[in-house]
Amino acid sequence: MSGAALGLEIVFVFFLALFLLHRYGDFKKQHRLVIVGTLLAWYLCFLIVFILPLDVSTTIYNRCKHAAANSSPPENSNVTGVYATATPAPSPHPCFKPWSYIPDGIMPIFWRVVYWTSQFLTWILLPFMQSYARSGGFSITGKILLEQAFYLEDVAKNETSATHQFVHTFQSPEPENRFVQYFYSPAVGM
């Protein structure tokens, strides 16, 4: 079954993520891009959980096979006479190929695709979609440019600050204490 278990799990996990999204989401009310982004994010998360046992069983089999190939039979230089040919070297424990064996070279490519796609979703696509949904602009370009400009300004302030604490562009309108309230003067109309 070289790779059949992997193929079956990939298909099964996709339909599981689709079923759960259909069950807990509303296809009619959500935008298609939101559905596709959420489906892909859930699919990759479930895929990691379901494929990991296949990877572990294949790794254990490969290590056993490697250990059996590198172990040499013990040398019987002290045995002479009749017993020298009668006692074969003890064989190490046999390595049984698991039913979920995945051929070499497939899993590193698979994990790279899953890892980098997850990184792209986590740090670029999903935050961009969230900022687009929360933005107060009335046009598409206004929503995209306004929110991303504030985000980049926040990142730039964080990089140039001495303490490297994340500084938000929009501070809370309410002062923290009486001292700050006394000296607090918002710059409106500048």
Chain mean position to CA 94: 35
Reported as a single tens digit per residue, the pLDDT across 110-163 is 999 999 999 998 888 888 787 777 776 667 766 666 555 556 555 566 555 555
Domain membership of residue 77 (yes or no) is: no
**Do the domain assignments include residue 80?**
no
Overall domain count for the chain:
1
Q: Is the pLDDT of residue 36 over 60?
A: yes
Confirm whether 65 is domain-assigned: yes
Q: Identify whether 129 is part of a domain.
A: yes
Q: Residue 17's domain spans which residues?
A: 1-72+92-184
- Identify the DSSP state of 188: -
110 Cβ neighbours under 8 A, 6+ residues apart: 6, 51
- State pLDDT tens for residues 82-109: 555 545 555 567 889 998 899 889 999 9
Other C-beta atoms lying within 10 Å of the C-beta of residue 128: 15
Residues 6+ away with beta carbon under 8 Å from 166: 154, 158
Structure tokens at 134: 């929360």
Q: What is the largest CA-CA distance in the chain?
A: 106
Coil/strand/helix, residue 57 = helix
Q: Which of 42, 37, 51 is nearest to 19 (CA)?
A: 42
- pLDDT tens for 45-78 read 999 999 999 999 999 999 999 998 887 655 555 5
Answer whether 143's CB lies under 8 Å from 132's CB: yes
Q: Quote the pTM value.
A: 0.62
Cβ atoms of 114 and 48 within 8 Å: the answer is yes
Percentage with pLDDT > 70 across the chain = 59
What element of type H or E holds 67? helix 32-70
152 inside domain? yes
- Residue 175 φ/ψ, nearest 5 degrees: -70, 155
